[in-house]
Structure 1
Amino acid sequence: MQSLKTILPTLCLISAMTTASMPVQSEQLFQQQGQPPLLIELYTSEGCSSCPPADNYLSQFTSKPGLWQQFIPLAFHVDYWDYIGWKDRFAKPEFNKRQYDYRRQRLLRSVYTPGWMVNGREWRGFFSRSSLPDRPQADGGELKARLVGEMLEVSYTPKAAHQQLIAHVALMGFDLSSQVTAGENHGKQLDHQFVVLEKLQKSQLEYNWQFKVERPDSTHRQALAIWITTPQLKLLQATANWLKPE
């Protein structure tokens, strides 16, 4: 029979070897405090012939100073033009709903593409080549998020009292392209940045949320955006950053 002195070192060695063989989950931190960035939402479709110029305009933000800290672009692909002949592979019905929610809140006059919302307000300046609105001057409080593996923890400290708030999370893909073979953009290669691949949200009275963020296998760059709104879709604070490769 082995003595306890002999067994314990063996068990410790096995435990150490098991721990060493376990994959280390990367951790990423997100934070924004004080003045919120601009949240720039583009509603677009590969089936819309008017949308490529808007997509190109949004794509230029990948190389602009201030990305993520001063502005957070998002491209929501909608599917209500799929019937024309080309099915947009990035479109989701829930993105249509988000655009219609803005309409129901009377923040958007009509639903169309390309459509722009900046910090929860309709922006038509793209069509007249106007500058984007200025960033909000109000203190948006402090937003923090911690991503470990697939688990995202979000916490928010507001500057003013609120009741129920909504935390939104968007996983974005970059350097994506489609060769369109039907519909209004037939024969074109459409290149995309800031494509929302997945959108999650939860409402809560306490300002701590947890999400499971499942990233698709991809060699393309990805980023994550987190923002807080009231139930009326008023933006309070937002943060975003590139994701580390898995």
Structure 2
Amino acid sequence: MNKSWQVWPAVLLLGCTMAQGSVQTLTSSEQPTSVLELYTSQGCSSCPPAEKWLSSLTQSPDLWKQVIPLAFHVDYWDYLGWQDPFANQSYSARQRAYARSGGTRSVYTPGFVVAGHEWRGWFQNQPLRLPEQQKAVGRLQLSLDDNQVEVAFKPEQTPPKGLTLYVARLGFGIDTQITNGENAGKTIKHDFVVLSLQQVSAVSDNHWRTKLHKDPRGERQAVVAWLGASGNPAPYQAVGGWIDQ
């Protein structure tokens, strides 16, 4: 079940990959990049159509430039007879944090969050519309050298206090045969799967450094980084792109 979607024209380009020897550099625009979060589970019979729709965004010219999709697999349906291999309790906790902060009304799957706010338009076959004409917050730049990650943020306005960096490795083109639970007998294709998520403290003002967790799953992979303020799961600024292979 493919669903149409629509975004507004980009103000500036973001997510561009530039080769510098073995180093990849990804740079956002000054305006906030919208993060599209899907909370899903292989144990949920309603989730495969949502994941199929999310997979269609791999072909969008706006990918990484205007929108960064993330598929967080939650663990609270594992008891139904199938344990999701991508599920992580921290992803479930992130979804609950949205409910506590008022970003969403409840916790369910499939559940969409766009730019920090619940989006139910997918259920009505509505096009995805991203926030337009947002005030510039600053450029976020990520450098990836093998698995070494360095991130710098150049703010355009005073940022929230205590910004924390989150770094995720994403997997694409992953097929899973489900043998039990609500999706028994189905083969589900996954894209934008969050394979690992790291929370990184700053090493100095607006600079972060970490080593990207290794995970070989997926025909192709990407890296995404975003900044978040304390007590608010909504991304403040984000950048992402394909990992050169």
| Aligned position for 1:37 | 33
- Aligned partner of 2:240 in structure 1 is 240
1:110 is aligned to 106
Q: What is the CA–CA distance in structure 1 between the aligned matches of 2:112 and 2:217, rounded to whole Å?
A: 28
Whichever of the two has the greater Rg, that structure is: 1
**Partners in 2 of 1:186 and 1:134 — Cα distance?**
35
Query: In the alignment, what sits opposite 1:21?
Result: none
Contact 1:37–1:135 under 8 Å retained in 2? no
Give 1:101 shift.
Answer: 1.1
* Counterpart amino acid of residue 244 in structure 2: K
* Equivalent pair of 2:40/2:111 in contact (CA under 8 Å): yes
State the alpha-carbon separation in 1 of the partners of residues 154 and 208 from structure 2: 12
Deviates more, 1:205-214 or 1:118-127: 205-214
Q: How many residues align?
A: 221
Tell me the SS of whatever aligns to 1:54.
helix
CA 1:54/1:219 → structure 2, altered by over 3 Å: closer, same or farther?
Answer: closer
Q: How does 1:54-69 map to 2 (within 5 A)?
A: 54-69=50-65
Tell which deviates more after alignment, 227-236 or 140-149: 227-236
Q: In terms of mean alpha carbon deviation, does 38-47 or 197-206 score higher?
A: 197-206
Query: TM-score if structure 1 supplies the norm length?
Result: 0.85
Structure 2 residue runs without a partner (length 5+): 1-20
- The residue type paired with residue 29 of structure 1 is T
Rounded to whole Å, the distance in 2 between the matches of 1:34 and 1:102 is 25
Specify whether residues 139 and 198 from structure 1 end up closer, same or farther in structure 2 by C-alpha distance, changes over 3 A only: same
Query: Who is 1:181 aligned against?
Result: 179
Residue 84 (structure 1) aligned with residue 53 (structure 2): no
The structure whose residues are more often helix, as a share, is: 1
Q: 1:206 to 1:237 in 2, by over 3 A?
A: same
Residue 145 (1) aligns with residue 137 (2): no
- 1:140 Cα deviation (Å)? 2.6
Q: Which runs of 5+ in 1 are unaligned?
A: 1-24
Sequence identity percentage:
43
Distance 1:135 1:108 in 2: 17
Matched, 1:192 2:190: yes
Give the structure 1 partner of residue 4 of structure 2: none
Q: CA RMSD in A?
A: 1.5
